[in-house]
Structure formats: C-alpha cells, structure tokens
Structure 1
C-alpha cells in the first residue's frame, strides 16, 4: 500500500527509546519475496520481541506468540476500537463488529455464532462440496488454470451467497470490489472500493429490512439492541465485514496451500494417499493454517502501562500480527517446515478471546473439502513453468495470481 501515511516516517514519541525503533512496514513486506512467510520469519528472528516502527503513522509491533495471545485476549488494555493501520480519520465509519469491544461487540457476534453452529455447517456441507466438485471438474480438461480467480475465490463467495441468499450471478462485481478494497495500491484506493462495496450491500440491506427472510443477512441487518433496530449504516458495515472475512481469508489460505503443494510433491502425495483419514486431514489443515498466517489487525492501547519493561502510553497503536504467532520457533520447532504430524502447533490465525473468528469452523470445513475433492481429481500438479505467484501483504496476506498446470 503506497499512501502518504505509509511513506512518511512518523516522529518517534518521547516515551519510545531509540533502541526500540525498527523500520518495518507490513504493507510492503511481500515486495520481491518468494516466500512471504519466510520474510515475516526473518523479521521475527532479527527483531526485538516488541519494537516501534515509524511506518503507518507510527506503532508498536509484537512478534511473539505469547504476547500476541495475551494482547488478543485482553481487549480492555488492547482495544479493537482502532484496528486499521495507518489509523483512519473519524469521518470513516467503524468496521462493525471488528472495531467494537464487549459489551457493544457481543450482540453482533452472537448473531454469527448462533447461525454458524456445527449443525448448520454440517447442513451446508453438501452444497459446498457440490460447487467445489463442479468447479474442479470444469477445470480438469483444461490442463491448468489461474487458481485464484478460477477456483479459490469462487468457492468462498458461493458459500457466502448461500448464507445471505444473494444470487451467485453477482459474484464478479463483488469479487472486484473485495480485491480492490483489500489490496488496492493506496489507502485511498482501498477506501474508495470499500465505499462502493457499502453502496452495493446497502441495496441488499434495505431489501432484507423491508422483506426479511431466514438467511444470515436478514438476521444481521434486523438485529435489535436494547429493543432498538440497528441503524442502516451499522447494518451495511456489519454485512461488509462478514463478506470480506468470509471471502478473502479462505481464498488466500487456499492459494497458499495450493502453492505449497505444487512445490512439495511429497506432501501432496502424502495427502492424496490419506484422503479417507479424517483425523489426518484435520491435522494437515491446522498445520497449513499455522504455517500460512493471514490477518494483521492493530489494537489501540487504552491506558499508560508497563509491559515487559516497555512503557506504553494511552493511545499508542500496536500490531500483534497473527502471522508471527504461527512462525514463533519458541512455540513451534522448525516453524517454516510443514509437518502433518506436528502435535499442538501454536498459532493465532483466527484470533483469541471475544474477537476470535466466528467463521473458523466453516473455514476449516471449506479447506478440508478443497483438499478432498481437488486431490482426488488432480493429484499431480505444479506451477506453470516460468511463473511465480504475486504475493501481497497487509491487513490480509495473500496471492494475486497462481498459475497451475497438470
């Protein structure tokens, strides 16, 4: 991301010692790297556990799993009320419910957890599997594809549309807006795309408020708090967050998994030989999630405090980046290696505490179905010769393109 806020270096505050300063920009770490997560790992190994960077408005960075977990759990000291870095102005609406803390956050989250129950996810499995199989079987005769646009972005958006009862025929417009909103070249371009997304979703919000159904969107936008219907702007923000969360993260994880398997035939064949072993597949998916962390959301520190010898001031921003937790060699020996027999691998991919992702179980189910159906039909595949995927980093790490052949 290349905005003035990221290019300009913030002045070091008086309470930040010079020896705790390191130049780090999580929006540009992917530039020119072959392995995004190896780049994060290199930063982690060569940095202090917690340091301050002058990038993106100036903020702290936590690089170790134990600190990241503690900060994710303690929303009273490390608030979600400002998660975007660089910080946005007050004229831009809150991202609901991500930028709310309990108790304001609780009613919104309750809607999602009530809808995305294990029983509901199990009931969705047949439809998810059906669209997965249909998409793969259309690709098989082609001998290759651009994986992100032809597959990994398709499955999550079909699942989302099923949840909210929106026609799948509208997926192309939403995919374009989602990509621009998360990976635009500047903060301004991202925000412009997000505004267009809000305008698009606003039409559906109004329809569901006038004629509610039994779908998730109807439940979300007709939420009442203290016997008052939430405002339309809040409903639109809520819908946008669920859309972005369900689409980009799952698509990105599928991309990283497909890239890894294309480059590691032994792992690919090990999986293909054990597709009927449910416990093994669950363990493999968890290992992929640990190795390929995605989300980076900031926090704002709510009061002056000393933390592990560091003086934080109220209003300081900090990035306890989820990606670092899974790469921490203190908790995961040889963290860059993918080991399907790893036991109790530590990561923070879905967050912790009241802000933990309510769609985590659905995401895991989508990934397992992807592996089962893809590897049973395309067990041997590789990168298209002469290509390498374009990687992007930021609020959600991912791949912009991935050319596969078989």
Structure 2
C-alpha cells in the first residue's frame, strides 16, 4: 500500500551527486502489510550511501544511520528546526509550533513552561490515573471477546490523560481526535489546511477562556505566563497550543497501535511478558526502538559536510527515527524484537538534542502501563481473521483500525 499519490519530482541541484539520488516519497511509498518501519528501511538500504537525496516533495536529503540522525538532531549550529517537515506545501503565515520550531536559545523559556507540567512528580500522579483508566477500559470490553483497539483503547487512554493535563472537556475528545487525524494524515493539502484551521480556532478559543478565567491546567499556565517579563503574544501562544494538541492527541495513540499489532501476531513474545512481568520495562524500550512512528526534518542553516556530500544552506534534511532504531551498526539484528536486549533505549524514537520530546516520560509511562494491565487481563489475543488493518502515514505513522479477538474464559 501507499499513503497517497507521489509528488512531482524536482530537478537535481548541482551540489547533489547523481549516485546519491533515490526516488522516495515520504508520503507515498510502498508499505508491506503493517511493516512501515521495515519497508522504509528496505528502500533506503537499496542504496549503499549513508546520505541520500530524493527529488520528491521539493527535493531533500535523507540521513539513514544512527550517527547521522543523532548529529543532525544535536547540531543546532548547522541544522535549524524552523521547518520540521519535508513538504512543498505553502506554510507561510502559520504560527510556529513553539518551542519545537524555535532554535536555541529562544526555545528555552517556552520549553521550561511545558516541562513543569510534565515533571517526574506530575508524571507519577498522571501514571496512577492512566493505570486506573486502562483497567476501566479493558474491563469494559474484556467479556466481549473482541474490540476495535484503536477507537476503544488507543484513542482513549493517552488522550484522556492529555485532556486532563490541559483541562479540556472529555466530550470534546471525538471531535479533536478526528480533526487532529486530518491535520496529520489528510488526503489533500486543502483538507489538512482546513482541519488545521479548525484545531487552531479551538485552541485560540481555549486560550481566551483561560486568560479570562485561569485554572491550574497547562493551557491556563501558558496563557497567563510571561517570557522575558512580558506576556506571551497571541501568535506565539497559538503555535504553543497547536503543538500541545497535535502531540497530545496523536503520538502515543499511534504507538499503541503498533505495540498491539506486534503482540497480537507474536504469541511467544506475549507469553514471555506474561510469565516474566519484570521484563516489561525493557520490553517497552525495545518496542519503542523497533516501532518508531515519527519522521523529523531540519533545515540546513549553514553549509555542512556530511556522509561525503556538501549540504547547502536552505536544503531540507529528512531525519527518519525508524532508521536510528533499525541501524545494524548500533543494534545487532535490529529487525528482531528481543525483550532482553541490552540498552534498547539508546535510540532517537523521541527525537534528540534540545528538542527531544518533552512528554517522553509520560509516554513511556502510559505505554508501560498498557503492557502491564492488558496482559494481566487478556494474555492471548489475535487480529480478527478477515480484517485488514492498514497503516496511514505522513510525518507520523498510525494504524487506522485494529480488530482484536480473544477467547472469553
């Protein structure tokens, strides 16, 4: 399958060697079954060079090794996060997703505001709520012997916790989930832009409400905060809230789908965790390594040599987190899931450098709790025969539906 129609190719710039060109469209490449990560890796490994260039989506570089992924994410002198997606769409006039699209040191005070809400102490309390909600959700359908995992669990657990953090009403969840899905993976640019406008309008409305009547939630905190002694302006606030909504409504829910499909199709791995629950923490890291879902990007801000090529200022660089976790130079037999693997967490699944995901601790907690509580209650399950789950992807991959079945005893 492919995500959508491929974009028209751009001409090869003079500084791009011909032997580095690969015809790859992030938004429309063949995906075998649900193997999004493996399919991407297979395409990139068809060319032996470490750094590649594709003419699709305006033309951009691709780094594909652990070392180069880490370098691009850490080197803010040469790589800017002003543009974070490889696309030829017109993004002029949109508020930047703050702090993600701010380079250091400008990003720091905004990131600090978000970190306060996701401190270890705060995550500990949120983890207790996530565990209670996980149990409630699983018990709600366990006796049925089946569920549609994405809508009945994956889009409930992390999103409900997120909505508590930002103080949004639970009844808004279906609307926000639908709109954010279209923003992230809509078929056309017009659909994505329209959904983005809806999400932006929703966020701005909530900011206005909290300014007038602040509470103790995260939106209230940033709506009333000051940076450098001044209130945050509306344009910047809009970008901050957009980033919160997109991150909180999509990424953990999407990761849960890949976790569940792997366990549903690998009974030996399920049994291993059921019989040895002490392995779950390391298994969580191993599944994160094996099934990253985010494709990052950076803009070259100053000419830099990498992998035998010269990247020029203004070039775009695609930074695929799956290639980091699946680099055989970093992880032996990277396609194999090994719950006893030593240090699987040494990867870039949550990004890297100054923009490493601020919610990674909460995400890890929610994913671990899913493994603990699901396997206690439904230790054996499978994908419903005859169903056809599919991957949908742009900059973040997701499984759109996943029908699971199990024996009720």
TM over 0.5: yes
Following superposition, which runs of at least 4 residues in structure 1 exceed 4 angstroms of deviation?
none
Give the Cα–Cα distance (whole angstroms) in 2 for the partners of residues 142 and 234 of structure 1.
47
Deviation string, structure 1 residues 22-80 (Cα, Å, up to 9, x no partner):
10111123545441121022123222211110011100000111100011001121110
Deviations 1:79-130 (A, max 9, x none): 1011122143322322222111111111111111122111111112221111
Per the alignment, residue 378 of structure 2 pairs with 378
CA distance in structure 2 between the partners assigned to 1:341 and 1:274 by the alignment: 11
Any idea what the Cα deviations from partners look like across 1:275-304, whole Å, max 9, x if unmatched? 3x2xx2111000000000111121000112
Q: Distance in 2 between matches of 1:328 and 1:392?
A: 23
Conserved? CA contact 1:2–1:187, under 8 Å: no
Return the alpha-carbon distance in structure 2 between the equivalents of residues 323 and 32 of structure 1: 15
Match of residue 283 from structure 2: 284
Q: Matched residues in 2 for 1:34 and 1:390: separation?
A: 6
Aligned to 1:202: 204
C-alpha contact (below 8 Å) 2:32/2:39 kept by paired residues = no
How many Å separate the matches in 2 of 1:175 and 1:393? 16
Distance across 2 between alignment mates of 1:89 and 1:169: 31
| Structure 2: distance between partners of 1:93 and 1:204 | 16
Listed one character per residue, the Cα deviations across residues 220-275 of structure 1 (whole Å, up to 9, x for unaligned) are 22231221111223212211211221231111111101000000001011111223
Give aligned pairs, total: 401
Given the two structures, how large is their TM-score scaled by the length of structure 1? 0.95
Structure 2 portions without partners, runs of 5+: none
2:330 corresponds to = 331
Secondary structure at the counterpart of residue 299 of structure 1:
strand
Give 3-state SS (helix, strand or coil) of 2:260's partner.
helix
Superposed, which structure 2 residues align to 1:4-403 within 5 Å?
7-29=7-29, 31=31, 33-47=33-47, 48-87=49-88, 88-275=90-277, 277=278, 280-345=279-344, 346-403=346-403
Contact 2:265–2:383 (CA under 8 A) maintained in structure 1:
yes
* DSSP-derived class of the 2:187 partner: coil
The answer to whether the 8 A contact 1:131-1:155 is kept is yes
Q: Is the deviation greater in 137-146 or in 24-33?
A: 24-33
**Equivalent position SS for 2:245:** helix
Distance across 2 between alignment mates of 1:33 and 1:191: 29
Q: Alignment partner of 1:311: what SS?
A: strand
Call closer, same or farther: CA 1:222–1:249 in 2, change over 3 Å. Answer: same
CA RMSD in angstroms, aligned pairs only: 1.4
Cα contact 1:31–1:392 (8 A) shared by 2: no
- Is this contact kept in 1: 2:51–2:307, CA < 8 A? no
Q: Is the 8 A contact 1:221 1:236 kept in 2?
A: no
State how far apart, in whole Å, the 2-side matches of 1:400 and 1:342 are: 29
* Conservation of the 8 A alpha-carbon contact between 2:300 and 2:315: yes
Higher mean Cα deviation, 372-381 or 241-250?
Answer: 241-250
* 1:170-218 per-position Cα deviation (integer Å, ceiling 9, x unaligned): 1111011011111111233212211110111111111111111111111
8 Å Cα contact 1:30/1:393 also seen in 2:
no
Deviates more, 1:320-329 or 1:228-237: 228-237
Shift of 1:134: 0.9
Kept in 1: contact 2:127–2:362 (CA 8 A): no
Unaligned runs of 5+ in 1: none
CA–CA separation in structure 1 for the residues paired with 2:238 and 2:164: 18
Which range moves more in the overlay, 240-249 or 318-327?
Answer: 240-249
Q: TM-score, normalised by structure 2?
A: 0.95
In the TM superposition, what whole-angstrom CA distance separates every residue of 1:309-337 from its partner, at most 9, and x where no partner exists? 21111100001111110011111111111
C-alpha contact (below 8 Å) 1:36/1:391 kept by paired residues: yes
